[in-house]
């Protein structure tokens, strides 16, 4: 009968007593018995009794692929900078396989990814090295964490595998500039918006994290520059507030360039533009200006004559700036629109300086706003005179009474003709008109012109006697006095003077009827001269009837009951 002895190791086989065969008594584990040593052999001694003999047996245990590759950890976490360049290599700790030979030859695969690959380097004298290789640039903002599965496969048949999860965090880099959600912001504000009004809020985002994504807003430029004091930008929130008064008529729009900057190193920035459109409100009244004035206007100017040129403007826009114009009073002037904003003040009716010598015209302008605003401008239009009025005496016939034997040069009367024209056109000169029917039949039967008896002062119209009058020679002297103005051409007016010579006697009321032949119109204004004073007085005599000595042909006369 034989006996089996294990030399140096625990026996895993035994000898069958019946047949003498070696039988495996327990599971053989090459890796437990030999580890990575090869070959793996069991040295046994077989003792045979009767006779006693020793047999040396060496049992070689061959490897089978009964161990899967094993990674040291289930999950490996590490960080890769976002700006790492493709081709960058990151070492990985590979898996181990307790088997030997081809069963322990490992290969590695990576779950599908476009950013990473594997590089396995083998050398006979060194342990193999495994590297994770960056094949495409990373972008933390699109994928901040990459989760990959690393698989190790041995060379057995069938192959066994082991896995490990790779968790790769992408370390942010300041590779993104802040971006506004709009490149141009547009906002409308009425020009009467109150100070402190929120104009708008700009918004920018930065997909980076940490200080790389912290944004500060600044106004890099404002056009026109006067807007610098009108708008305030909050550097944190991006809110823009109004800090001053807007004026559409001064500036109708503003452009604000805004920069958003992050705090990365180096800092990156984005830009946008804010366009503030100022809306007009009706805050300006129309203005009327006289650009040309042609005065004075001759009173004989024709209808349609341009008196003045006017300019009308309203700094507002749209309906607020549309202006309607009118002139007051409506006559004798009117407005004619020549082109936008320009008017002519023209004559609509004939003028008469003697009736109205000067006009105060008011041009009124009203805009189309709601409520409407008004402006006005006064225009003084003097009317210049033309010689369109002839001198006119107060009476067509003057009756003058003069005592006989008056002194030469004595004033008989003062005549006055009115001429409503002015200056030379109204300056009157008087004369005894020889062209008229004037003169007297003397007692001797001759005819003498009136100018041989009387004269009139050219300036004052004073009528005076050239010589003493003699009743017995002249009883009645009738002549015309002409008043001529200095206009161009001159105009004239005439009046008839009837001069009655009153007989000098003691009874002022006595009149010898046969000596008084002309008829004196009833209720005629008469001038009597007092010899002592030499001045005539106007008086109205009662109507009386005088008869001739024969009693025939009674005549009407207007003689004073008392000569003054």
Q: What is the pLDDT of residue 545?
A: 33
- Give the mean pLDDT of 38-52: 77
Let me know if residue 53 belongs to a domain: yes
| CATH classification at residue 154 | 2.60.40.60
Q: What is the pLDDT of residue 436?
A: 47
pLDDT tens digits, 506-547: 344 444 443 444 444 444 444 444 333 333 333 333 333 333
438 or 448, greater pLDDT: 448
Confidence tier at 11 by pLDDT (50, 70, 90): low
Domain boundary among 279, 306, 339: 279
Identify the three-state secondary structure at position 87. coil
Whether 472 and 536 share a structural domain: yes
Domain boundary among 37, 61, 85: 61
pLDDT at 185 over 80: yes
**Interatomic CA distance for residues 389 and 394, integer angstroms:** 14
Total domain count for the chain? 5
Let me know if residue 414 belongs to a domain: yes
Whether 190 and 208 share a structural domain: yes
Whether 356 and 456 share a structural domain: no
Whether 251 and 140 share a structural domain: no
**DSSP bridge pairs for 129:** 121
**88 Cβ contact partners less than 8 Å away, ≥ 6 residues apart:** 80, 133, 134
Whether 424 and 477 share a structural domain: yes
Whether 543 and 473 share a structural domain: yes
CA within 13 Å, CB half, 79: 4
Whether 273 and 245 share a structural domain: yes
Let me know if residue 10 belongs to a domain: yes
Confidence tier at 6 by pLDDT (50, 70, 90): low
Q: What is the pLDDT of residue 17?
A: 65
Q: What is the pLDDT of residue 332?
A: 95
Whether 453 and 549 share a structural domain: yes
Residue 100 backbone phi and psi in degrees, to 5:
-125, 170
Whether 299 and 254 share a structural domain: no
Residues of the chain with pLDDT > 90: what percent?
Answer: 63
pLDDT tens digits, 335-386: 999 988 899 999 999 999 999 999 999 999 999 998 999 999 999 999 999 9
Q: What is the pLDDT of residue 516?
A: 41
Let me know if residue 541 belongs to a domain: yes
Confidence tier at 189 by pLDDT (50, 70, 90): very high
Torsion angle, alpha carbons of 505, 509, 510, 512, to 10: 100
Choose the weakest-confidence range: 22-26, 187-191, 221-225, 294-298.
Answer: 22-26
Confidence tier at 124 by pLDDT (50, 70, 90): low
pLDDT at 492 over 90: yes
Note down the domain range covering 265: 179-279
Residue 420 backbone phi and psi in degrees, to 5:
-70, -10
pLDDT tens digits, 395-410: 999 999 998 888 889 9
Hey, what are 229's tokens? 């004091």
Whether 456 and 553 share a structural domain: yes
Whether 220 and 358 share a structural domain: no
Residue 163 sits at the vertex; the CA angle it makes with 158 and 168, to the nearest 5 degrees, is 150
**Interatomic CA distance for residues 129 and 89, integer angstroms:** 12
Q: What sign results for the dihedral spanned by CA atoms 202, 204, 210, 212? A: negative
Q: What is the pLDDT of residue 10?
A: 54
Whether 167 and 206 share a structural domain: no
pLDDT tens digits, 190-243: 999 999 999 999 999 999 999 999 999 999 999 999 999 999 999 999 999 999
Quickly tell me which residue has 């300056």 as its tokens. 427
Q: What is the pLDDT of residue 9?
A: 54
Let me know if residue 67 belongs to a domain: no
pLDDT at 423 over 60: yes
Q: What is the pLDDT of residue 14?
A: 72
Domain boundary among 137, 171, 205: 171
Let me know if residue 69 belongs to a domain: no
CA within 13 Å, CB half, 355: 7
Residue 270 sits at the vertex; the CA angle it makes with 264 and 276, to the nearest 5 degrees, is 140
Let me know if residue 337 belongs to a domain: yes
Catalogue the E-assigned strands of 387-524. Answer: 392-393, 397-403, 411-414, 417-418, 428-433, 440-441, 447-448, 454-456, 462-465, 476-485, 492-502
Q: What is the pLDDT of residue 99?
A: 85
Q: What is the pLDDT of residue 536?
A: 36
Let me know if residue 70 belongs to a domain: no
Residue 153 backbone phi and psi in degrees, to 5:
-125, 135
**426 Cβ contact partners less than 8 Å away, ≥ 6 residues apart:** 385, 389, 419, 420, 485
């Amino acid at each position: 009968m034989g006996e089996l002895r294990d030399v140096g190791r625990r026996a895993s086989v035994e000898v069958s007593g019946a047949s003498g065969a070696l039988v495996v008594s327990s599971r053989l584990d090459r890796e437990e018995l030999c580890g990575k040593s090869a070959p793996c052999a069991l040295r046994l001694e077989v003792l045979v009794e009767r006779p006693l003999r020793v047999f040396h047996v060496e049992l070689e245990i061959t490897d089978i692929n009964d161990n899967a590759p094993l990674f040291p950890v289930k999950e490996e976490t590490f960080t890769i900078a976002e700006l790492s360049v493709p081709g960058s290599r990151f070492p990985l700790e590979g898996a181990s396989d307790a088997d030997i030979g081809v069963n322990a030859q490992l290969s590695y695969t990576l779950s599908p990814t476009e950013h990473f690959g594997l590089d396995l380097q083998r050398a006979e004298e060194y342990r193999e090295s495994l590297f994770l290789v960056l094949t495409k640039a990373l972008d933390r903002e699109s994928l901040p964490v990459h989760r990959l599965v690393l698989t190790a496969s041995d060379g057995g048949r069938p192959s066994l595998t082991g896995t490990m999860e790779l968790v790769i965090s992408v370390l942010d880099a300041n590779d993104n500039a802040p971006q506004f959600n709009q490149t141009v912001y547009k906002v409308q504000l009425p020009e009467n918006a109150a100070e402190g009004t929120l104009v708008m809020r700009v918004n920018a985002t930065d997909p980076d994290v940490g200080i790389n994504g912290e944004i500060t807003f600044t106004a890099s430029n404002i056009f026109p520059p006067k807007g610098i004091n009108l708008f305030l930008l909050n550097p944190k929130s991006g809110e823009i507030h109004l800090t001053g008064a807007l004026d559409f008529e001064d500036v109708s729009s503003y452009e604000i360039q805004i920069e958003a900057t992050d705090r990365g190193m180096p800092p990156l920035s984005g830009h946008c533009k804010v366009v503030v459109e100022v809306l007009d409100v009706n805050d300006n009244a129309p203005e009327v200006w006289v650009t040309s004035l042609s005065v004075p206007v001759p009173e004989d100017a024709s209808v349609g004559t341009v008196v003045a040129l006017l300019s009308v403007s309203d700094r507002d826009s749209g309906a607020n700036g549309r202006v309607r114009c009118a002139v007051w009073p409506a006559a004798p002037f009117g407005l004619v629109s020549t082109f936008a904003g320009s008017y002519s003040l023209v004559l609509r009716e004939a003028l008469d300086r003697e009736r109205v010598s000067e006009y105060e015209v008011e041009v009124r302008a009203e805009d189309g706003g709601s409520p409407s605003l008004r402006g006005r401008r006064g225009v003084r239009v003097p009317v210049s005179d033309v010689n369109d009025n002839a001198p006119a005496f107060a009476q067509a016939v003057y009756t003058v009474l003069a005592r006989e034997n008056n002194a030469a040069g004595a004033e008989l009367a003062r005549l006055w003709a009115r001429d409503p024209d002015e200056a030379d056109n109204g300056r009157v000169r008087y004369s005894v008109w020889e062209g008229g029917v004037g003169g007297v039949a003397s007692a001797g039967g001759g005819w003498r012109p009136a100018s041989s008896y009387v004269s009139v002062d050219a300036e004052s119209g004073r009528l005076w006697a050239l010589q003493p009058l003699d009743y017995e020679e002249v009883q009645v002297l009738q002549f015309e006095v002409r008043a001529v103005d200095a206009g161009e051409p001159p105009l004239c007016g005439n009046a008839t003077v009837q001069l009655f010579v009153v007989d000098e006697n003691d009874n002022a009321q006595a009149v010898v009827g046969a000596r008084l032949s002309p008829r004196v119109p009833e209720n005629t204004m008469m001038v009597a001269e007092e010899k002592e004073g030499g001045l005539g007085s106007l008086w109205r005599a009662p109507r009386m009837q005088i008869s001739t000595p024969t009693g025939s042909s009674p005549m009407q006369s207007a003689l004073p009951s008392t000569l003054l």
